Each structure stands twice: as C-alpha cells, then as structure tokens.
Structure 1
Amino acid sequence: MNKKYDSLFTPWKIGNCEIKNRIVLTSMGGTDLFGWMEKNHFDKAGADFILSVAKNNAGLVLPGCQPVYNPMFGQWLYKNKKMYKELAAWMPEFHKTGAKLFVQLTAGFGRSFTVSTMMETLYNNPVLRVLSKPVMDLDKITASASPSPNRWSDKLPSRALTVEEIHEFVTAFGKTAKLLKEAGVDGVEIHAVHEGYLLDQFTLDYVNKRTDEYGGSFENKYRFAVEIVQEIKKQCGEDFPVSLRYSVVSKTKGFREGALPGEEYTEAGRDFEESKKAAKYLQDAGYDMLNCDNGTYDAWYWAHPPIYMPENCNLEDVKNIRKYVDIPVVCAGRMNPEVAANAISNGDIDGAGFARQFLADTEWVTKLMNDNEDDIRPCILCHSGCFNMCHYKGVPNDQDLSDSLHLARCAVNAETMQKDKHFIKPTTSPKKIIIIGGGIGGMEAARVLKLRGHEPIIYEKSDRLGGTFIAASAESYKGKLRDLLSWYIRKMEQMKIEIHLNTEITDLSQFGAAPIIVATGSTARVLRNVPGHEKMIEACQFLTGTEVGETVAVIGGGLTGSEIAYELALKGKKPIIVEMKDDLVSQKGVCLANSSYLREWFAWKNIPVYLETSLKEVRDNGILCVTKDGKEIEIACDSVISSAGYVPTPLVSKDKKPSNVELVGDCNGIGNLRTVIWRAYEVAMKL
C-alpha cells in the first residue's frame, strides 16, 4: 500500500469501542438491515451489502438510516423482536471481519419527507386519507417542529409534532438501542442534528417557531436530541457508544433555498458560531462521536454532493468544529482518500466517511490497500441509481415507485443491491458474440460476457473506445466520468477483449446466425424546421473541441444543456439558456441535489435563462425566440449550441431485428448511463 494512505489504517476509539481503521461507511437509505419503506424485517440484501463492505476492510460500518417509527405501516422499530434474533445470529459472521457495526436510527424526515404525486392525492382526498392511514399516515410522518412547507410539495404541509409524540420517539430510541445492543451491535448513531431531517428541524430557527420546552432558547431547540442520547444511555449504559450525525453548518438561506460554495449569504439555520456551542453541548449530553458534513434538504448538495461540488467540500468546517470538542469527529462529503489521510495524520479529523463509492465498488478499500487503485470502479456522483429523488417546477418527487422503494442501487454497477437478478452466471455453451459499437454499453456487455465465459468481439467505427461518453465526460469538472471511461478501457485490456477500431459495420448479415449486440448509440436531433439551424454547433461538437465565441446561446435547458452552460461560465464565457419548458432540468431521473445546484448557481451568477421560450430563427449575430404568449425576443450572441436531445440510431429497428440481435444503450432508447449499463448487463446475461 502507498505510504500516503498509512494514517487511514490506524486504530482509534469511539468511547471504549476500538475501530481497526479510519474508513467509515456512512449510512445510505436502502442499505438497511431492517428494510427500507416496507414492513420491518431482517433484510438479507442489506445484510449482504454491509457484510461485503466489512469483508473489504472498512473499519466502521453504518447501514442505512432506520426510522424508529416506520413511515410504511406505522410500525415502531422495537416491536418486531424476531428480526433482532436474526440480527443476533448474523452478528458473529460480521464480527469475523474485524469491523464494527453502528446502526443509524432516525426520528424521520418531517418536512423533508419526499412526497410524490400519489401521496398528494392520498393526503388531499378526505376519504383516501382515512383509508391510507394504516399504511402511510402522512399527517404523522411529515410532522415537523412547527407548521412548515414540505421540501417537495406545496400540497402537503407539515404540522407541529406534539410533546406527547416527541416523548414517544424518545422512548422508542431507548428501547430500540437496547435491543440492538442485546443483538451484539457495537453502537448506534442518531440521525440527527443533520441535513434538515426531523431532529434537525427542531434546532433550526427558520423551521422551529415553538414556544414550549422544545422551542425558543438554545437549550430547548436541542432538547429533543439531548433527551434521546440520555434515554439510550439510561437503557444501554454509559459505555454503549452513541454517535451523532451532525451538520456543522446548515448552508441554507431559507425554505427551498441553499447557499452555494463561495456565496455570501445570511444563514437561516445553524451558523458556525452556534455550531461551536451546539457540538460541545451535545458532547456533554452524552454523544461519543460526531459524524459530520453540512447542509439541509434545502441545501441538499452539501450532504449529497453532485459532481459540480468541490472535493472534500465539508472538510474545512469539520476541521474547525473538531477544535471545540473532545470526542472523535468524522468528515464525509466527496472525500479524497489522500486528503483524508493527511487530515487524520494532522489531527484535524479522526475518521473519513465514504458512502456512494461503496455502491460503485464494495472492494475499493481492499484495492487501495493492495495498490490496485486503477481497478477501483469510480462513483461518478450522478445519483441516478442511488438517490434519484427528482424535483422541478410543478411536480413533487418525480420518481418511479421502484426507485422510491429500492434506493442505494448504482448506475455504474448493475449488481449493487440487485444481486437477486443481476449476478454473473457462467455460460454452459461458450460462443463468439459480436458487439457493434465500443461505447459504454458495448464495453459493459463485453465485460459481462467475458466474465461468463463467452468470447465477445467489439467493432467500433471510430479510432477509440468510448462513444458519446467521450463527449459526455469532456467538461472540466467531470474527472470522475473520465476515470470511469479509463476503467472500462482498462478492463477491455485486462480481459483481452478482441477489438476492431476504425471498422464500421453496416450489414449484420455477414455474421450469419451469430449472436449480435448492437450498441450504436444515437445522433443529435437537428432542428430542421428552424431557419439557420445549420449555423448551430451541436452539443457533442462543442464538448469535443469546437470553438465558440464569447457570448453563447445554449438551446435546451435539460441536464446536458445546463451542464454545457455551466462549463461555458466556468471557462469565462457568457452563456444564455433558452428552454421550452417552465424549469431547467425538467426531467425524471436527475436528483434534486444535482438539479438544484445548477438552478441556484445560474441564479447566483446572473446567467440569463429564458424559460417557456422556443427558438424561431438562428441569425449571424444572434437568435430570434418566441415566448409562450407569442412575444418575439431577439437575443444577441456570437455562437449557438444546440442541445435539443438525441435520436436512436440502431442498425436495425426494434420491430424488424432478427432473433439473434439485441439492442443496447441509446440505440435501444434514449436514456442515461444507468439505463445503458443495466440494459447491457441484462442482455449479456441472457445470451
């Protein structure tokens, strides 16, 4: 192992609990031991993931946050004794790894609960609200410190939690922690004074307007969190470790409005001055560790950093809070292992938290230790597999139900939390399989086929592998995407996949009856009905090097267009966005943490955005647009980039393809990297 990582692999203590190294798997909803958004039970899929992480040299492992009151079916977590017996039977296997397990418990989401259209309907229809109450009591599970707007929906506001309900929660934390201790769990983490969840909502002035013992003064705001740790210590003993998930600074300007890195703003939530006092106060109340980052659901990009956020985005604040407490402090948020090692070596933090990287590659710590860093499959911070809770103007959480119920899957790793249907099964009849197209879809199919024992052969018409992902990963801030492309190319080399570059295939009949996978991608949609369309630069052309002028109009404010505008601004250009819909990134599958960053960044930097506006004509020195009410607008610019979407380009259409041909990637239907990789995996598994 490279010596620069040595400090990551030194032991440390949380209370009297010794942890073998400083690598912490921080909790992610969906990796739960007792189920996620379903009836509580010992979850074997979650347990398998947690065990895999532990076997691969993580020091402290935290499963997904477990509500002590289950949002589904209204079940208190301590009431199902059977699952604790099953957990107790499993714990010896976990402890063989040498890792320690803390189970994260939460009081719930309050106003941050991700409301969907279906939930709006259930809540606002009096009959349905009564009928659905035994399954999902929305009035209870969205209750907050005070009446307040839901983060996702204007149609389902939060009421104030009653004092009696608060006491119920406190009791439940104690009973649950005691059962976990009896099952052999090493500690618990309270989720917490963090991310604008329910407990945090009590501490935040812009949410908590109470005048009873849980509002007003500093001590009252933090009373709920203090009573929880006191109850746990009462039930489990002073030596039972209790960690606190803690947001150092809220980075929040108000309801549904975050503060971006470098932005000057007035803090609506917890500022650093309050945080210094709060951290010490919570330590003295009994918490044995602070597991830290920043943000709230209103500033979600701090707790769930998209690729636009800087690496180690929370480290400075966490280093500073470490000076004011005597208990260990962990930092999470786009942590770079080398930077984390240096911070630990300097005594700035005690542990380094990592989450989504474990979804992309559960073996990444082992690979780091074995000097195989190039073999680590990187997380690209897309959120499209793990946390694709999506929100744009006019909709609550726009997310498929299957995604709502199955978080913590991974766009770049089809097997993560899906091993019931995605697993490598060796073939009993090895054969040559032709793959037309060497993009991500073609390479993923080749990788899986080779692992199964087949002999894939890739034909790629260009002089390099990567397809449209070369352009998609070109922006300056997309280093992680370029790392993924390098990982795939390295896999092709390691697995000795036969590859023919500069070879365009137009006739599939030459391969006879051999199995064929077509992964030929798509082409840009051309706005041929727009006069002057030939003057436009297509998005991929810009991304692969075509020069543009100083002021650039980007036609299309979806994710691709918005990211291009962001890149233009980073390069010192003056982008202008023209979008037909009523919001930017108005598309399913893009996490609110990602889209809200872009929307708020454009507003902060005064990037002109024309919504509900269509392109009518491209001229030599600008464009002519039309608003939804028919008003014409002339916009001066030096260049125009078209980001109007893509059209599949299969060699053979779906309804006419021979039985030996399968379509993969965008040629099968325009999607995202997740749809490309998962489809490629599934096709490769059935051949």
Structure 2
Amino acid sequence: MKQTYEALFTPWKIGNVEIKNRIVLCPMGGTSLFGWMEPNHFDKEAAGFFLERARNNVGLIIPGIAPIRDTIGGRWLYQNKKMFRELKPYMEQIHATGAKLFVQLTAGMGRSWGITDEVLPLHKNPVLRVLAKPILDTNYQLASPSPLPARWAEGVTCPEMTVPQIEQIVAAFAKTALLCKEAGVDGVEVHAVHEGYLLDQFAMKYTNHRSDRYGGSFENRYRFAVEIVKAIKAACGADYPVSIRYSVLSKVKDFCYGALPGETYTEIGRDMEESEKAARYLQDAGYDMLNADNGTYDSWYWAHPPMYMPLNCNLEDVAHIKRFVDIPVVCAGRMEPDAAAAAIAEGRIDAMGVARQFLTDGAWVTKMLEDRMEDIRPCICCHNGCFNMAHYKGHANAQSFGDTRGMARCALNPTTMQSRKYRLTPATAPKEIAVIGGGIGGMESALVCARRGHNVTLYEKSDRLGGVFQAAAAPSFKEKDRALLAWYAREVTKYPNLTVKLGTEVKDPAALHADEIIVATGAAPVSLPVPGAEKGIQAVDYLLGRRPVGDRVVIVGGGLTGCEIAYDLYLQGKQPTIVEMKDDLIAVSGVCLANSSYLRDFFKTNRVPVYLETSLGEIRDGAVTVTRKDGARQELPADSVILSVGYRPAPLAAKGRHVHIVGDARKVGNLRTVIWRAWDVCMKL
C-alpha cells in the first residue's frame, strides 16, 4: 500500500464501537438486508454481497435503507422476528472478518417517493387507491410533513402526515433498533436529515408548513429526528451507537431546481448557518456520528453525483461542519482515496464514505492495500444499473417495476446483487471462439469466455480497443470512462488463452476457424434526410476530434449524448444550442434523474438555448433552419452543426447457429445492455 493511503487504515470509534479502518461502505437503495420493495425478510443476496466486501477489508458496512414499514403489505419491520433470528448468525460471520455493520432505517420518502408510471394511475383513481391500500398504500408512502408537490409526478399533491402516524414511526424505530442490537448489529443509522427524504422534509422550512409541535420553530422542525434517537437510546441503552445520515446543505433554489457547484444562489433549504446549529443539536440529542454529504431530490446530483460533478464534491462542506461537533463525521460523494486520506490525516473528517464503487468492484479496498490500484474496475457514475430512476416531462418515475425492485445492480458488473443469474462456471468443453469487434461488448465477451476456459481471439479493425466508447470517454469530465477503457486494455492481456489482433478487419466471419463467433461490431449513426445534411458533423466525429467546430454550435438531438456534447462545448467556452424534437431533454428511460437533472439545471442556469418540439429543416453555411411545433420556421446561427440523432445496429454477420450478436450490433442501448447481453450469451457457450 502506498504511504498516501495510510490514514485510511487507522482505527477509530463511533461511541464505544471501534472500527478497524476509515473506509465506510455507504448505504444504497436496494441493498437492504431486509429487502426493499418486497415484504421484509432476511435478504440472502444482499447478505452475500456485504459478506464478500467485509472479507475484502471494508471497515464499516451500512446496508441500504430499510423502510421501517414495508412498501408492499405495510408490515412493520419489528413484526418479523424470524428475520432477526436469521440476522444473528450472519452478524457473527461479519464480525469474523473484522468488519462492523450498522443497519440503516428510514421513516419513509414523503414527496420524494419514486412513484412510477405503473403506479401513478392507481394513485390518481380514488376507487383503485382504496382497493390497493392493503397491498400498496400510496397515500401512506407519499405522506409528507405538509401538502407538497410530489417530486416525481407533476400534478400530484402529497397528503400531510398525522401526529399518530409520526408517533407510530418513532415507536417502531425503537422496537426495530432493539431487535438489531439483540441480533448483534453494531449500531443503527437513522436515515433522517438527509437527501430530502421524509425526516429531512420535516427539518426544512420550504417543505414543512405545519403549525403543530412538528413545524414552525427550529426545534419543532427537527423534533421528529430527535424523538427517534431518544426512543432508540431509551430502548437500547445510551451506549448503543446511533448514526444519522445528514445533508450539510440542501443546495436547492426551488422545487425541482438545484444549485450547481460553485454557484451563488439563495438557499431555500438548509443553509450553512442552520446546518452548523443543526449538527450540534442532533449530536446533543444523542446521535453518535454524522454520515454526511449534500443535496435533496430537488438537487439530487449532490447526493448521487454523476460524472459531471467534481471529485470529492462534498468534502469542503462536510469538513466545515465537523468543526461544530465532537462526534465523528464521514464524508461521501465521489470521494477519492488520496483526498480522503489527506483530509483524515488533517483531522478535517473522520472517514471516507464510498458506495457505488463497491458495486463495480467488491475487492477494491483489498487491491488498494496490495498496491494494485490499476486493477480496480472504476465506477463511472452512470447509474444505469444501480439507480436508473428516470424522470422527464409527462412521466413520473419511468423506471420499470423490475428495476425498481432490483436496484443496486451494476451496469459494469452483472454479478452484483445478481449472483444466481450471472456467474462464471468453467466450460465443460473448451472451444475456439472468435470475437469480432473490440468495443466494450467485444472486450467483455472475450473476457467472460476466457475466464471460463475457452480459447478466444478478439479481432479489432482499428489500432486500439474501445470502439465507440472511445468517443463517449472523450469529454474532459469523463475521466472515469477513460479509466475504464484503460482497465479493459490491461485486463485482456492477463489471460494466455485470449489473443487480441488489432488492425485486423474481418470481412467474412465464415472464413474464421472458430467453433463460435461473437459479433460485436457496434452501431452506425442515423442520418437525417434534410437538405445540407452533408454539412453536419456526426457526434462521434466531433468527440474523437476528427472534425473541428466553431464557436456557435447547434446540436441536433437532445438525448444524453447531445446534452453531454452541449455541456462539453459550454465548458470549452463555446456557444451551444440544442434542437430536440421531443418535449423534454433526455426523454428516455434508463437515465437516472440525478444525471439528467444536472444537465437540465445546468442549461437552465447558464441560459443555454434549448428548442424543444423542434425539428431540423435545413443546414446551410452559417445557419440552420428549424421548424417549431406550431409550424413556425426559424433560423439559428451556426458555425457548426453536430448531429446526435441516434444509432442503428450494424452487425457484420448474418444469422447462424454458431453466430451470436451482442452489444449495439444487436440492439442500441447503453453500457448495461451491452455488458449484460455479453454475459447472457457467453455464459452459455
């Protein structure tokens, strides 16, 4: 291990519980030991996930939020005694590794509950809502401190939570925490004044308009969180550790409109002056640790930072708040080990919180200890597998029920939280396998086959691996994408049964001497049948630097790629304009709201021109003509025009019994569809 990281591997204490190192596996939705959407139970998949990471040298594990009352069925956690009996021997296994584990409990989501497109019609129909109540009580799930607009569904007003409901929840925290203690759990964490969830909505002025003892004054707004910790301590003893998940700053300018890094703005949520007071107040109430970052669902990119957010994006704010408390403070949010170690050594924070990197590579801490940093598969902050809750105009949460139920999976690592579906087994009869195409789909296919024992030859017609992902990784803010490409380039050299042939174009797959052929030749850009289309620059050509652009650039296509190009151009000091036929930017499922809302907020704040429900008519020298929804034509000045209107599959080979098409060559998607499809095919060969 490098000396740089030594501070990360020193012991520390939360109350009287000693943690062996300063690396905290932070909670992620979908990783609850008690299940997530389904009725509560001891979740063996999550248990296996955490045990593997415990064996790989993490110090403290905090599984994902466990709703104190089931989303489906409405059962309270403390009512399932069997679940806690199963938890006890599991805790013995965790402790055998030297790790500690806290269970995170949540009172609920309130207006931040991710009501889906599938559930929204049920909630809006009074009759169906009543009929469904014993199974899914949407009014209870949406219950907020005051009548508030739902974050995910336009036109839905959340009902006000009653005092008896609050009292039930407080009592349930105490009963559940006691069962956790009796099962050997080292402490509990209250998902409280954090991320705009229910207890945070009680704490903030812009979401709490109550006139009873839970609203109005500072003390009343924080009363719910204070009553919970006091009830837990009364049930479990003053020395039983209780952590609180805490957002230092809300970073909110308005409902559904967040503040960007470095922006000067008026905070309508928790500002630093109140946060300094609140952190001390919560400590004095009995909380033993602050597990801290920033943001709410109205500024979700602070709590779930996409690749556009700076590395260590919450460190300065969290380090500031540590000055006002005596309890340990953990900082999360794109934390890098070198920055975290330095901050710990200086006493600015006590531990480094990491979440999604543990999904991508469960052994990354071990690799750091063994000085194998280059072997760590990096998380690229895409949220495609772990949290792809999408939201755009006309939709609530556009995530499918299957994805909602199965969060915390990983686009880059299919085995994460899916160990029964995706696993490598040795091939019964090793085969000669040819993989055509050295993009992500081709490289992943080659690696899966090689690990299973097949003899693999990977053919790539260019002089480097990566395919179209080289273009995706080109912008300045895609440093983790470039690290992923470097990881693949190293990984394919580790297997003696995997041969890579660069600069080798395969024109006739049938001529290859192979038992099985995997075609991963990607996709081709869609062309637009408009006058002057030849003057346009394809997105991939811009991203790879093949075609320079001027200062005034019109991007045709407001999907994810088009928006990222506009963002990249703005960062370069150019003047982008986006033209999109749909009624919103990034109007697709599969792209997390944390990612899409950052870009939408960025364009809104920086007044980047966006023309929605607008089609391209013609490209001319110096301008483009577009047509608005109402039929009006408009001319936009343009030194350059970038076309980002999608791709179509471009498979090389025809169908055949021994020909398998993967990645975008089969169906255009994202890294998740590309990588998971490669496994679907290659596990069976």
TM range (shorter): over 0.9
Secondary structure of the equivalent of 2:619? strand
Displacement of 1:200 in angstroms is: 0.4
Displacement of 1:254 in angstroms is: 2.0
Displacement of 1:126 in angstroms is: 2.3
1-structure distance, mates of 2:247, 2:561: 31
1:463 aligns with 2:460: no
Confirm or deny: 8 A CA contact 1:120 1:155 kept in the other structure: no
1:100 aligns with 2:100: yes
| 1:244-393 → structure 2 map (5 Å cutoff) | 244-393=244-393
Confirm or deny: 8 A CA contact 2:433 2:514 kept in the other structure: no
Match of 2:681 in 1: 683
Secondary structure of the equivalent of 2:38? coil
Confirm or deny: 8 A CA contact 2:434 2:514 kept in the other structure: no
1-structure distance, mates of 2:262, 2:614: 31
1:609 aligns with 2:610: yes
Confirm or deny: 8 A CA contact 1:27 1:63 kept in the other structure: yes
2-structure distance, mates of 1:209, 1:53: 43
| 1:400-479 → structure 2 map (5 Å cutoff) | 400-479=400-479
Confirm or deny: 8 A CA contact 2:139 2:159 kept in the other structure: yes
Confirm or deny: 8 A CA contact 1:123 1:156 kept in the other structure: no
Match of 1:71 in 2: 71
Is the deviation greater in 89-98 or in 76-85? 89-98
Confirm or deny: 8 A CA contact 2:411 2:671 kept in the other structure: yes
1-structure distance, mates of 2:518, 2:223: 60
- The residue identity in structure 1 corresponding to 2:663 is G
1-structure distance, mates of 2:500, 2:183: 53
Secondary structure of the equivalent of 1:474? coil
Confirm or deny: 8 A CA contact 1:120 1:156 kept in the other structure: no
Distance 1:113-1:522 versus aligned 2 partners, 3 A rule: same
Match of 2:229 in 1: 229
1:630 aligns with 2:631: yes
Match of 1:558 in 2: 559
- The residue identity in structure 1 corresponding to 2:589 is K
TM-score w.r.t. the length of structure 2 is 0.99
Secondary structure of the equivalent of 1:504? coil
Distance 1:13-1:513 versus aligned 2 partners, 3 A rule: closer
Secondary structure of the equivalent of 2:562? helix
1:664 aligns with 2:662: yes
**Cα distance per residue 1:312-347 (max 9 Å; x no partner):** 110001000000000000000000110000000000
Is the deviation greater in 165-174 or in 65-74? 65-74
- The residue identity in structure 2 corresponding to 1:668 is R
- The residue identity in structure 2 corresponding to 1:256 is C
1:118 aligns with 2:154: no
Secondary structure of the equivalent of 1:115? coil
Displacement of 1:127 in angstroms is: 2.2
**Cα distance per residue 1:160-191 (max 9 Å; x no partner):** 11111100000000000000000000000000
**Cα distance per residue 1:192-243 (max 9 Å; x no partner):** 1000000000011111000000000000000000000000000000000000
- The residue identity in structure 2 corresponding to 1:553 is V
- The residue identity in structure 2 corresponding to 1:548 is V
2-structure distance, mates of 1:585, 1:474: 20
Match of 2:596 in 1: 595
Question: What runs of 5+ residues in structure 1 fail to find an aligned partner?
Answer: none
- Aligned-residue CA RMSD in angstroms? 0.8
Confirm or deny: 8 A CA contact 2:65 2:106 kept in the other structure: yes
2-structure distance, mates of 1:435, 1:455: 11
| 1:47-86 → structure 2 map (5 Å cutoff) | 47-86=47-86
2-structure distance, mates of 1:499, 1:276: 57
Secondary structure of the equivalent of 1:417? coil
Secondary structure of the equivalent of 1:117? coil
Match of 1:516 in 2: 517
Confirm or deny: 8 A CA contact 1:145 1:201 kept in the other structure: yes
Confirm or deny: 8 A CA contact 2:536 2:640 kept in the other structure: yes
- The residue identity in structure 2 corresponding to 1:416 is T
Match of 2:240 in 1: 240
Confirm or deny: 8 A CA contact 2:425 2:452 kept in the other structure: yes
| 1:34-49 → structure 2 map (5 Å cutoff) | 34-49=34-49
Displacement of 1:501 in angstroms is: 1.3
**Cα distance per residue 1:451-497 (max 9 Å; x no partner):** 10001111111111110011110011100000001101101112242
Confirm or deny: 8 A CA contact 1:458 1:498 kept in the other structure: yes
1:198 aligns with 2:198: yes
Displacement of 1:381 in angstroms is: 0.2
Secondary structure of the equivalent of 1:45? helix
Displacement of 1:262 in angstroms is: 1.4
Confirm or deny: 8 A CA contact 2:437 2:459 kept in the other structure: yes
- The residue identity in structure 2 corresponding to 1:672 is N
Question: What runs of 5+ residues in structure 2 fail to find an aligned partner?
Answer: none
Secondary structure of the equivalent of 1:686? coil
Confirm or deny: 8 A CA contact 2:330 2:353 kept in the other structure: yes
1:673 aligns with 2:671: yes
1:504 aligns with 2:524: no
2-structure distance, mates of 1:40, 1:156: 28
Confirm or deny: 8 A CA contact 2:39 2:71 kept in the other structure: no
1-structure distance, mates of 2:657, 2:272: 63
Confirm or deny: 8 A CA contact 1:73 1:135 kept in the other structure: yes
Displacement of 1:155 in angstroms is: 4.1
Match of 1:32 in 2: 32
| 1:94-173 → structure 2 map (5 Å cutoff) | 94-173=94-173
1-structure distance, mates of 2:71, 2:31: 16
TM-score w.r.t. the length of structure 1 is 0.99
1:652 aligns with 2:670: no
Distance 1:476-1:450 versus aligned 2 partners, 3 A rule: same
2-structure distance, mates of 1:557, 1:315: 32
Confirm or deny: 8 A CA contact 1:250 1:296 kept in the other structure: yes
Displacement of 1:512 in angstroms is: 5.8
- The residue identity in structure 1 corresponding to 2:659 is V
- The residue identity in structure 1 corresponding to 2:482 is R
- The residue identity in structure 2 corresponding to 1:76 is W
Confirm or deny: 8 A CA contact 1:333 1:354 kept in the other structure: yes
Distance 1:433-1:553 versus aligned 2 partners, 3 A rule: same
Confirm or deny: 8 A CA contact 1:307 1:477 kept in the other structure: yes
Displacement of 1:141 in angstroms is: 1.1
- The residue identity in structure 2 corresponding to 1:346 is E
Confirm or deny: 8 A CA contact 2:432 2:514 kept in the other structure: no
- The residue identity in structure 1 corresponding to 2:112 is S
